[in-house]
Amino acid sequence: MNNNIKDWRDSTLPDDEIEMLESIENGEWKSIGNIDERRNNLREFFSDNGKSTNLININLVQEDFDIIIKKSNQYGMNYKELIEKLVHNFAVGNVVL
């Protein structure tokens, strides 16, 4: 097993990754705490949990799609995740039409 740590400056990285690494080294990042809780939440989110998923296609008018994009950005998630949450909440009775 090779335990040599490479300096990231020796590798070819995209500009945005270089900028992020420089920012980290400059101490511009701060811990938000509760790292164990956050790690567990992420593991749960990315785990399969035995649930199967189905792929669907829907057509939205551009105005609705634009609103969904803006709302998803406000909540810090991508638009697909927001739509999944909306459908789930409707399915379990938390949203009524």
Tens of pLDDT, residues 4-37: 656 767 778 788 888 888 888 898 988 777 888 8
* SS3 label, residue 50: coil
Residue 59 resides in a domain: yes
Residue 84 and residue 72: Cα distance in Å, rounded?
Answer: 11
CA distance 33 to 18: 25
Residue 97 lies in a domain: no
Domain count, the chain: 1
Domain hosting residue 23, numbered range: 9-91
pTM of structure: 0.48
What gap in Å lies between CA 21 and CA 50, rounded to an integer? Answer: 36
Instruction: For residue 56, give the amino acid letter.
Output: I
11 CB burial (10 A radius; 0-12, 13-18, 19+): exposed
Instruction: Name the pLDDT band for 49 (thresholds 50, 70, 90).
Output: low
**Is residue 78 a part of any domain in this protein?**
yes
- Whether 41 is in a domain gets the answer yes
